[in-house]
Amino acid sequence: MRLNAWLARAGVASRRGADELIKAGRVTVNGEPGQLNTFVGASDDVRLDGRLLAKQQLAHVLLHKPAGVVTTARDPQGRPTVVDLVQHDARVVPVGRLDADTTGVLLLTNDGDLAHRLAHPRYEIDKVYEVECRTRPSEADLRRLRDGVELDDGPTRPARVRRLAGNRIEVVIHEGRNRQVRRMLEAVGNRVEHLHRSGYGPLALGGLEPGAWRELETAEVERLRSMTRDSPGRARGRGRAGYGPG
């Protein structure tokens, strides 16, 4: 495992923060200064400022994100964060983002490799949203959403869309652009009044109350891993598309 990933999993810092610690000469591996390209094995001695570090166990947490909470580890404006809600022994960080006003399923983990794969559009992880619109979308609006709409950062990929009761629809996307669902509705002349993510891949909230969290079961983690495991056809058939927050 690369040293910055090892430090992140040890709960020392994010990967970017770990890079700064390494460049500052504060990290040693088996008594030698660590480098950005240093790889760490299971038996290696890793120290920060002379203090021996132990790698944390992998942790995977499902949070029912409430409204008014930001999806980050810390907020310069002092708003509550999802990391504040998850009082876990391991240092877990969110996979992708939800707007402060958006509620629902959010995964937090210290499993950097899995988080990276889940965020990449090549694996087409379903993100299921229940959308309450300002006005009732027309059938033409739904067709446009299904076909893909033009946004300022390019066209969206086709979405799965179905009508729910009243002004509500369900939208399933694989991309994770900033405020994507809200912008998609604006592109068809509507506006989101409330946005709730009801599913992320195989994960659903069940009876989890807003603000509550639980550890993922082993079978759920294995399901996420299997969904992001490269097959020969997938590896040959897809390029490295850009990706952003969910």
- Sheet of 27-29, strand order: 32-33, 27-29, 46-48, 51-52
Q: List, in order, residues 6 or more apart from 33 with CB less than 8 Å away.
A: 25, 27
Q: What is the set of active-site residues?
A: 99
CB 61 within 8 A of CB 114: no
User: The tokens 């294995």 sit on which residue?
Assistant: 222
Q: Report how far Cα 189 is from the mean position of its chain's Cα atoms.
A: 28
> Residue 179: helix, strand or coil by DSSP?
coil
Nearest CA to 118 out of 4, 13, 223, 34 is that of 223
Task: Put residue 237 in one of left, alpha, beta given phi > 0 → left and psi -120 to 50 → alpha.
Answer: alpha
Nearest CA to 137 out of 114, 110, 165 is that of 165
